[in-house]
Amino acid sequence: MEDCIFCRIVRGEIPSDKVYEDDRVLAFRDIEPQAPIHVLLVPKTHYASIMDIDSDTFGYMQTITRKLASELGIAEKGFRVVINTGEDGQQSVKHLHFHILGGRSMQWPPG
Ligand code: 5GP
Ligand code: ZN
């Protein structure tokens, strides 16, 4: 059993503000939101990063991202999906997650 903060959220050991859950993934609101909508989507199985996950699970996360964007009301105006990876990518939690950000106009380039 992984002693990882997102694994613990998946197991319900740490409470989270859930927006979607099924047998493969969990989506919950980021504790430090960077936009009016800031949801984290995680696979229930622990994968450290995009370098480790299989394409089927990754593809499923894309399907759920599309569904969540519609349900959260950000599909029409647009949104951003961020996957921070590794040290230079500023990944702080080593359990793959999509940041789904929306509800405001985003900046580019990222800092
Ligand atoms: P990373 O920096 O790894 O791309 O993103 C990790 C994200 O997880 C951060 O945006 C941070 O605010 C969020 N986070 C860290 N711990 C918790 C937690 O216990 N609950 C929730 N909801 N979000 C968390
Ligand atoms: Zn984990």
Q: pLDDT-derived band of residue 37, with 50, 70 and 90 as boundaries?
A: very high
Between CA 24 and CA 42 the distance in angstroms is: 9
Enumerate the domain spans of the chain. 5-102
Per-residue confidence (pLDDT) for residue 63, from 0 to 100: 98
Per-residue confidence (pLDDT) for residue 57, from 0 to 100: 98
Between CA 70 and CA 91 the distance in angstroms is: 26
Which tens digits make up the pLDDT trace of 86-100?
Answer: 999 999 999 999 999
Domain 5-102 -> CATH class:
alpha beta
**Which phi and psi (to 5°) does residue 72 adopt?**
-85, -5
User: Which of 92, 96, 97, 98 most suits a substitution to test ligand 1, by most atoms within 8 Å of the C-beta?
Assistant: 92
Q: Are 51 and 7 in contact (CB under 8 A)?
A: no
Q: Which ligand places an atom closest to the C-alpha of 110?
A: 1
The counts of H helices and E strands in the chain are 2, 5
Average pLDDT over residues 6-34: 98
Active-site entry in 38, 46, 97, 99: 97
Per-residue confidence (pLDDT) for residue 111, from 0 to 100: 85
